[in-house]
Amino acid sequence: MIPAPFEYERVEFVDHAISLLSDDPEAKLLAGGHSLLPLMRLRLARPSKLIDISRIRDLSYVREDGDRIAIGALTRHHDVASSELLQAECPIVAYTASLIGDPQVRHMGTIGGALAHADPAGDLGTVMLALGAELVVRGPNGASRRVPAGSFFRGLFEPDLAHDEVLTEIRVPRTGSRGWSYLKFHRRAIDWAIVGVAALAPDGDGAAVALTNMADRPIRASGVEEALAGGADPATAADRAAEGTSPPSDAFASAEYRQEVAKVLVRRALEEAMSR
Ligand SMILES: Cc1cc2nc3c(=O)[nH]c(=O)nc-3n(C[C@H](O)[C@H](O)[C@H](O)COP(=O)(O)OP(=O)(O)OC[C@H]3O[C@@H](n4cnc5c(N)ncnc54)[C@H](O)[C@@H]3O)c2cc1C
């Protein structure tokens, strides 16, 4: 289908984008367009105006910042996947970005767009949740706030972003030698996850395990984390992977099937993370 009519304006500065958003409650930001434009073509989204932020150069970077790695929100998935800094310091992020869609999607889609879209089937939100990443959000009058990934995803396609706020940066911890795994169960390499699992091996704070497409947002597998903290082995802990989940039933899989897959995938992810 053809999208409903809309205006278009390209901006070079974040504050200009914020001011245009403030002026028009029906306007929307356009980054890589790989989630928004399909919705517009189906007329599930009908913004009055697209504010194209994709050319804001100073929002595309991966750099060291103290004990964190800072990733500009407009960094494309391909650049995240091929960042030597992330491959060395937080490899789960680079690896997961390399699994997204196909080369075209990875060359257009941005990490900020993926997180702001807040699709529970998206891979990167789950990884950010497991890592305890921080998301930097800018609003009117230069206001800026940092949101923990754990509270950024509020529901289905519902990020903690006001209409006139822009996600500008994602801050991930250096995981160093800590073992990790991201496993994605799907039918074809380019497909979205039917179920996905991000796992970080236990350190001083215990293990971190998060799930993709097992609720209306990315969620921590708290039962698994609790079992591991209590000394359970990965296979025993993974049996609790379905606790607290509410996965969808759709054309790809039933909710019950997803819950069974999650148990298998969590076990494999923990074994991989602990052996790395
Ligand atoms: C064929 C295909 C396969 C895909 N496969 C996968 C997959 O396997 N795994 C996966 O995780 N994803 C997948 N994706 C989604 C992909 O990751 C998208 O690129 C991503 O979801 C959206 O990023 P974008 O930059 O294109 O955002 P856009 O589509 O431009 O924007 C998405 C939404 O976020 C808002 N937005 C964008 N940037 C910002 C910002 N900085 N601040 C605030 N709001 C913002 C927009 O207004 C819009 O509402 C796939 C997409 C396609 C088309």
The mean per-residue pLDDT over the stretch 74-97 comes to 98
Q: What is the pLDDT of residue 16?
A: 97
Report how far Cα 15 is from the mean position of its chain's Cα atoms.
24
**Per CATH, the architecture of 180-275 is what?**
2-Layer Sandwich (3.30)
Nearest CA to ligand 1 atom 48: 36
Nearest CA to ligand 1 atom 19: 109
The three-class DSSP label of residue 174 is coil
In the chain, where does the domain assigned CATH 3.30.390.50 lie?
180-275
Per-residue pLDDT band for 259 (boundaries 50, 70, 90) equals very high
The mean per-residue pLDDT over the stretch 94-107 comes to 97
Q: How far is the CA of 110 from the centre of ligand 1 (A)?
A: 6
Which fold, 7-52?
Answer: 3.30.43
* Residue indicated by tokens 């595309």: 60
Distance CA 45, CA 272 (A): 40
Q: Which of 6, 21, 36 to mutate to test the pocket of ligand 1 (most atoms within 8 A of CB)?
A: 36
Over pLDDT 70: what percentage of the chain? 100
For 198-208, how does the pLDDT look when each residue is reduced to its tens digit (9 = 90+)? 999 999 889 99
In the chain, where does the domain assigned CATH 3.30.43.10 lie?
7-52
Q: Any idea how long the chain is? A: 276
Angle between helix 123-131 and 91-98 (nearest 10): 170
Q: Give the 3-state DSSP-derived string for 245-265, with helices as H, strands as E and coil as C.
A: CCCCCCCCCCHHHHHHHHHHH
- Kindly state if the Cβ of 20 falls inside 6 Å of ligand 1: no
Q: How far is the CA of 274 from the centre of ligand 1 (A)?
A: 31
Helix residue spans in the chain (DSSP H): 14-23, 36-41, 77-81, 84-89, 91-98, 103-108, 111-117, 123-131, 149-152, 222-229, 234-238, 255-275
Q: Does domain 60-173 have CATH number 2.30.110.10?
A: no
Q: What is the pLDDT of residue 99?
A: 96
Distance CA 209, CA 224 (A): 7
Per-residue pLDDT band for 90 (boundaries 50, 70, 90) equals very high
In the chain, where does the domain assigned CATH 3.30.465.10 lie?
60-173
Give the atom of ligand 1 at the shortest distance from the alpha carbon of 191: 8
Nearest CA to ligand 1 atom 5: 101
The mean per-residue pLDDT over the stretch 20-24 comes to 97
The mean per-residue pLDDT over the stretch 42-62 comes to 96
Q: Which of 9, 20, 34, 157 to mutate to test the pocket of ligand 1 (most atoms within 8 A of CB)?
A: 34
Measuring CA to CA, which residue among 236, 189, 195, 233 is closest to residue 212?
195
Q: Is the pLDDT of residue 104 over 90?
A: yes
For 201-258, how does the pLDDT look when each residue is reduced to its tens digit (9 = 90+)? 999 889 999 999 999 999 999 999 999 999 999 999 999 999 999 999 999 999 999 9
Q: What is the pLDDT of residue 244?
A: 97
Per-residue pLDDT band for 188 (boundaries 50, 70, 90) equals confident
- Kindly state if the Cβ of 139 falls inside 6 Å of ligand 1: no
The CB density around residue 106, as the number of other CB atoms within 10 Å, is 21
Per-residue pLDDT band for 113 (boundaries 50, 70, 90) equals very high
